[in-house]
Amino acid sequence: MKILLLDQSDRLLLLQGAESAAGESVWFPVGGGIEDGEDAVTASLREIGEETGCREVRLGPEVWRRRHLYSWRGKQTDTHERWFVARTLHFTPKPHALTEHEQSYITGFRWWTAEELVSTTERVFPPDLGARLTDLLRDGAPASPLDISEGEHARP
């Protein structure tokens, strides 16, 4: 599950992660997995709190779904992501419950405008996040979640 955490100025909070020992980094949204006994809403709010320290959040609709196959730190992963919009007032992230795994790779936070995401040369996950966010902010949430999977995993 991924959360598009937006402030009152439509800036998106992304986390920066060290992708390799060489120090390469990537920017990505708040999010994580659903734990036993949780639904997607409960898990989303928990992840936001753990990764940013923010508890004053209004969780909105699920807007996208994505199947993504990738290799990270030598491990192949097949994820089925659900993407939600959430709103909050601008704040300075202060994570308070990062797992040991998260502590090993989260190196920073930044609020981004859609325009900044479209034009950046930094690595962003997914690479088309700026364009997708631009569309979402212009058009609003879709009636049902859009499949944003890439390549062979995209639904026709």
Q: Give the structural domain span for 37.
A: 2-153
| Cβ atoms of residues 118 and 130 within 8 Å | yes
Model pTM?
Answer: 0.88
Quote the number of domains for the chain: 1
Query: What is the average per-residue pLDDT within 72-86?
Result: 80
Provide the CATH number for the domain around residue 89: 3.90.79.10
Place of tokens 């998260």: 102
Residue range 126-147, pLDDT digits in tens? 999 999 999 999 999 999 999 9
